[in-house]
Structure formats: structure tokens, C-alpha cells
Structure 1
């Protein structure tokens, strides 16, 4: 039986890796914000594009973890490392393709996102395109980091990924201050300094992951360093399902923001504040899901079905308990926590609407995220894709747009989010109870 300590170690490691980039982004925004509003807006748009790319390509982490954990659990560490090698080839190929496509298209993309009608918009477009053209060269190494995180989680290496991410972002933190404002002898580059800092920091992290996988290959006699079409094809099949699942999330949340904006400035500001808290809690719950993914995959690879079931139950209980405690904290702090973000009485009044939907949804999310992790560890990506799309199309999206038609406001939008979570809960709970996910061995 896997101990609670092992679950905790994997969870803390995953959380550290997940939370480090948003913390760095806050620093980046604070540093660039001192240059002026145009530069801050350009950085915001540029990082949004990079974020969308990263979100759509998380299969390099999650899919690789599932496949690697199976082989690791079966005692085939060499095969597990081979999954990491092939995921790294996919990362390099996709990354180079994205650079080739996005570099010439950067001004067009920024013009579509920013528009050109408002005063100063052209300058923001030019600045954002320049920032993106520099930062995009780090995308292949960002994707290598995802692949590296994936296979190292699969073999339950908890320390190195944290070290690699912290080292890369620490260097970036020093560079973003130095290069943006010309501090400590660095040249003053302004906004491009932020892009170069991002490029170097993310590149260093990716390089550390690349060095590690090459060393693993050299230590073993069997993993091949060359591309393996059979393994790559299998990884891309899982990637297809995970990309479609991720895309459904993006469409839903972008639609929610668009509709909230049509209810006024206070409404969209309130929506974004509560949504940021939701995204923070999602990172925390996702770290528990990653622990479940790694442990369940290894158990099924070892053909230990009872152990996989025990892990599923234990992680679900822990995730539900953690989400319940968080819900209690946010419920008790309902009058105080929003004031940390704004003092505007109109926005504070608007926050009171989605706040209680958010609090009520947390325990549901605790179970959903844990069972998502269990099913991802089992390689049940096709089911998760279908369930998520059905919940989005059958629950979240209709309620979002009906909120606009019938003027339901933020209550309608957040009701849609709650329904989305409830439908996912029903789907994943039913799937786990059915036992159809308990396929043992290395093949998924």
C-alpha cells in the first residue's frame, strides 16, 4: 500500500513545479509595469499567447506521465526513459514548428488580439509582437521541460524537476530586473529585456531536463536516442484526446470572460478576481491529481489492481478533505479576502455573487480532480476527452450564453461552471466505479 507520505511528496513536488511559473509572471508584470501602461499591456498579451500554447500542449506532461508510470511500475525503467526520449523528440519538433509559424505571424496575431482602434494600440501591437518574437525561441525548450516533467513524474523522481524549474526561473528573475531596468551593470533593454529573461530562464530549465534524459539513456543499454515512430504514434493518439479536452476548457473560460465583460466593468472585474482564486485552487488540486496519476499508472503497470484501487480511494479522500478545508477558509473569509484584491465597493458587491458558487464548488472539484488523476494514470484519456466535451457542450457553454440572452449576470455564468463540475463528477465517478479503467500491463 502506498503511504500518505509518498502521496504528499509527489503532491508537493508537482505543486512546486506548477506554481513557480505564475509566481515568476507576477514578478515579470511588476517589473515591466514600472516601464508604463503600454509595456504592461504588451507583456500581458504576449504572455497570454505563450500561456495558450503551453496549455494546449500539456499532453507532453500528462500523457508522458501515464505511459512512463506504466513501464516504471512493471519494472522497466529503461522503457520508461524511452517514453521520455520520444516525448522529447515530439517537443522539439512541435516547438520548432511553432517558432517557424509564429515568428512571421506575431504582428498579425497581436493585431487581432489588441485591435488598432484605441489610442496607443498600434504601439502595444508592435511591442507585444517584438516581445513574442524573442520569447518564442524558448518554446522548444519549454516543451522539453514539459516532456521532462512528464517522464520524471512517471518514474517518481520528485526532487530534480523542482530544482530544474527553480534554477531556471531564479536566473530569469535576476535577468528580468537587470535587463529591463539596467540594474547591476546589465544593459537597459526595456520590454525586450523581459523577453530575453524569459527565453534564458525557460531555456535553462529545458536544457537541464534534456541533459538529464540524455544521461539516463547513456546509463542504460536499451533506450534508443533516435525517434521511434511506433512510440511517437502512440503518444500522439493520447495527445489528440488531451488537446481536445484542454481546448474545451479554453473555449468555456474565454466564453465566460466575454459574457462577463458584457455585464459591465464591475462584473468582469469581480469575475476575474474569483476566477483567479479558482485557478489557484485548481493548481493545488491538480498537484494531488498528478500524484494519483503517477502512483496509479505504476500500480497498474505492476498489475497491482488492488493497490491502484487503494490509491484511488486514498487520494480522493485527501483531495476532498483539502478542498473542504479550503472551502471553509473561503467561506469564513468571504467578507475579508475580496478586500485584498480591491477596495471598490461596486466590485466588492459584484464579487459576492460568484463567491458562494466558488465555495460550494470546491468540495466537488476535490473529488473531480482526484478521479481525473486516477483515470489519466490509467491512460483513460479518450473517456476523459468525451466526458469533458459533453459536460462543456451540455452544461457550461449553454448556461454561459443563456446568461447573456436572459441577463442572468454572474449568477448564470457561475451556475454554468458548477453544472460543468457536477456533470464531470457524475462521469468520472461512474467510470471509476465501473472498473473499465483497470487495464493492467504496460500497454495503454
Structure 2
């Protein structure tokens, strides 16, 4: 490589911003679906809000299992792009979209059929379970669209286009907000109206993104037809990330289960707190998305030095973004709960938990960036093993948090639970740091 040839590292800051800013806005829009549902349903009372919390835990677990449809596709497509194989990149992306449709249809049947047992597994009073079951059965219809959105978004990110997903997410959020308000309070459908509004918005988003990917495919002469071999490869390559995600989702589900054991008020407060944490997580994950795309492209080009420099830059940015977000949450920890509920007990518990969330944001910033780097590198097998180790390490911490929270007030008990959750993030960072400091994950070429 000559001095005249531009390297990724020379323009990494500009490229990180170009990818991360639209991705940040789009990712913030995603959890806003749940924020809107929480704000609208919260006005119906504690039982509907707690029911939404239980149902959301199940839905996020089911959809989160297949997040590899976005993450794995981004890295794979970016590698092909870096190696100059754009037509093959798009065809590989289409295989991910087809896989998403198949998996989403299966997940919809399972979720609708087992809605009540799933809700009961999370816990809550009979009134809470009724609300959660209603929301789950309707929301199951949107799972195919939800997974197609993940896959199509991953294709576009791999092609270094984060603007289109932003536009689609923004329009989808606006439609979701309007539909929820109209159906829940205008028509009077209650929690069912919130579910229908989200389903309709998700289907519209899926259709829009698939249309954009189809146009890119025609431009490059890429085939959009169902190729069983490609779907099988996409599924096989996604297994390690699926295992990694299963471990991480198990952590979230176990945490909400403990919150349910503490009572309806802590569960309702945990739903709002977790939704706010997810919003912050997705915001920080914008840097991880840039890391996935830039890492995949650079490794496709065979430029290890660029990967190392971009990783250092994005990790530093992740740390400082976490500091800023933590300060904002700390300053607003008593204001934010007011938007979600009028119950003073729930508000106090949310405020206490948010202080713990604020303290953990710098840690979250570096965790998500490095995780994105390794996903972009296709280091799924190692991430699967590390995720399992972290889950096992979290179990005794969660047990201790539950024992310490029992018998305390709702606010203090929920804060203790979130301290335990922050311990999980600390262990996760330790495993990621150990891996990224070496070079075994930096495999170059169009295909890992």
C-alpha cells in the first residue's frame, strides 16, 4: 500500500460519524415503540403496565434471539463489499431476508399458541397475566415483519447505508405513536390497541425496507429469489450469534423474573427502567453498528491496521458517550418516571433504579462497541462461548441481589436488582477486553 492510497484509518472518524449518526437516530426510534406503548398503556393503570412489562420481556426475548439476522448480515455483506463482490453481497443479504421471513413465521405461531404460558413464566398477578396474554397474542402477528426489518436493515448497513433505515424507523415510530393513541384511548381497545398499532407499523416498515433492498438488487443484477443453499448457509453462520444472544436474553429474562417476584410495583417500575435502559443501549449501539460495518469492510480489504485504529477510536467514543448519557439520566431520574405513570410508588422505584442505570452507562458504552467489532469480524464462535460464561457468572450475582432485595421497599429493592445487573455488564466487559486485545479474531478476506 502506497502513501497515496487512502486507508480506512485515515478517514475513520468521518466514516464513523457518517454511519453512526443515522444509526443512532434509527436505533433510538426502535425502543421508542416500547416507550410509546409504556406511556400510553401506563395511563390505564398498574396492571396493564405490568402486563406490558411481562409481555415485552417475552417479545424482546423471541425477537432478540434472531438479532443475528441484522448483526451477522451486516458483517458478512460488508466483507463482500470490501472485497469488491457487491452482487454477491446483496445475494447473501437476500438469503438473510428469506431466513427472517421463515423464522418469523415460526416464531409467530409459537408465540400466539403459548402466549399464556410464556406470560406466566415471567410472573405477576392474575390481572397482570390477562393483560400480558392479550398483548402477546396480537403482537405475535408482527413477528415476521419485525425479523424482516432486522435482516433488511442489516443488508443496508453492510452496504454502508444507515440513512434509509433511519427514514423508515422515523416514519414507523410516528405511525406507531398515532395508532396507539387512537386505538388505546380513542377507540377504547386498551392494551390490545397498543399491540395492534405496533403490528401495523412493523408491517409497513418491513415492506418499505424490502422495496429498497430489491431496488439495489436490480441495480447490481443480483437475484432476489429464494435460494435454499444460501438460506441454509445464513442459518448455519448465525448459530454462534444465536447462542450468544440466547445467553444475553436469558440474563434479561431472569432479571425481569426476579423483578416479578418482588411484586407488581417493582415489576411495573422495572418495565419502565428496562425500556429506558434499552433506549440508551440502542443509542450506544450506533457505534457498534459502525464498528460492524467498518470492521467487516476493512477485513474484506485485508487492512488489519485500519481495524485496530478504528477499534481504538470507537471504544474511546463509546466511553465518553456513556459518560454523557449517564449524566443526563442522573439529572432527569426524577422527571422521567412522571411520563410513564401516576402511581407514586412506581415513580419512586423507577427513580431509584435510574440512578444505578446512570452510573453504568460508561461501562455500557465500551461493551457495545467492542461487541460490535467482534461481530463485524465474524467472531461468532468465541462470542457464543463468552456469552455462556457470562450467563453462568451472573447467576450467583442475581441470586445475591434477589436475597438482598427481599423484604426491602420497592425502590430500594429494585435498585439492588439493578446493581446486580451492572455486575453482569462488568463481567461481560472483562471477557470482551481479553479477546480484543489479541489478534486471533482479525481474519481477512471476503469470507471468514
Report TM bin, short chain.
0.7 to 0.9
Equivalent residue for 1:140, pick from 141, 144, 148? 144
Q: Give the SS at the match of 2:140.
A: helix
CA separation of 1:149 and 1:257: change in aligned 2, threshold 3 A: same
Q: Which residue is 1:283 aligned to? A: 282
Corresponding residue SS for 1:2: helix
SS in 1 for 2:282: helix
Q: Do the aligned partners of 1:168 and 1:203 also contact (CA within 8 Å) in 2? A: no
Equivalent-residue separation in structure 2 for 1:346 and 1:155 (angstroms): 44
Residue aligning to 1:152: 156
For 1:69, which of 71, 78, 82 is the aligned residue? 78
What does residue 170 of structure 2 align with?
A: 166
Show the counterpart of 1:242.
Answer: 241
- 1:303–1:441 CA contact under 8 A, matched in 2: yes
C-alpha spacing 1:201/1:405, structure 2 compared with 1 (3 Å): closer
Within 5 A, what are the aligned runs for 1:23-34? 23-33=32-42
CA distance in 2, matches of 1:346, 1:197: 26
| C-alpha distance in 2 between matches for 1:167 and 1:29 | 19
The 1:84/1:398 distance shift into structure 2, 3 A limit, reads: same
User: Per-residue displacement from partner, 1:306-346 (whole Å, max 9, x unpaired)?
Assistant: 11111111111111222233345556x3xx63354379599
Conservation of the 8 A alpha-carbon contact between 1:20 and 1:166: yes
SS at match of 1:338: coil
**2:78 touches 2:159 (CA, 8 Å); kept in 1?**
yes
Render the CA deviation track for 1:384-410: whole Å, top value 9, x for unaligned. 12112212212x221221344567966
2:219 is the counterpart of 1:219: yes
CA deviation map 1:335-367 (0-9, x unaligned): x63354379599859966x66654553333322
Q: CA deviation at 1:207?
A: 0.6
Cα distance, 1:432 vs structure 2: 1.7
TM-score scaled to structure 2, two decimals? 0.83
The number of residues matched between the two structures is 429
Distance 2:347 2:190 in 1: 33
Q: Aligned runs of 1:41-60 on 2, under 5 Å?
A: 43-60=52-69
1:121-156 Cα offsets, whole Å, 9 max, x none, are 6xx62x654544443222211111100110100111
For 1:85, the equivalent position in structure 2 comes to 94
What are the residue-to-residue correspondences of 1:186-205 with 2, within 5 Å?
A: 191-205=191-205
> Residue in 2 aligned with 1:439?
443
TM-superposed deviation, 1:112: 5.3
**What is the deviation of 1:290?**
1.0
User: CA RMSD of the aligned region, Å?
Assistant: 3.3
Counterpart in 2 of 1:100?
Answer: 109
Q: Which has the higher contact order (CA 8 A, sep 6+)?
A: 2
User: 1:83 deviation in Å?
Assistant: 1.8
How do 1:417-432 and structure 2 match up within 5 A?
417-432=421-436
Partner residue, 1:379:
378
Contact preservation (8 Å) 1:79, 1:223: no
Task: Give the 3 Å change call, closer, same or farther, for CA 167–243 of structure 1 in structure 2.
Answer: same
Q: Shift in Å at residue 261 of structure 1?
A: 5.5
Unaligned runs of 5+ in 1: none
Q: 1:108 & 1:419 partners in 2: Cα distance? A: 30
Indicate if the aligned counterparts of 2:123 and 2:261 stay in contact, CA closer than 8 A.
no
Q: Look up the match of 1:341.
A: 337
Is the partner of 1:165 in helix, strand or coil? Answer: helix
Q: 1:275 to 1:30 in 2, by over 3 A?
A: closer
- 1:198 deviates by 2.1
- Please give the residue correspondences for 1:314-333 in structure 2 after superposition, counting only pairs within 5 Å: 314-329=313-328, 333=331
Is the contact between residue 31 and residue 275 of structure 2 (CA under 8 Å) also seen in structure 1?
no
Q: Secondary structure in 2 aligned to 1:17?
A: helix
Q: Give yes or no for contact 2:300–2:444 (8 Å, CA) kept in 1.
A: yes
Aligned to 2:409: none
CA displacement 1:26-73 (0-9 Å, x = unmatched)? 333444455666655555544443322222211111111111111111
Measure, in 1, the Cα distance between the counterparts of 2:349 and 2:102. Answer: 49
What is the match of residue 254 of structure 1? 253
Query: SS in structure 1 opposite 2:221?
Result: coil
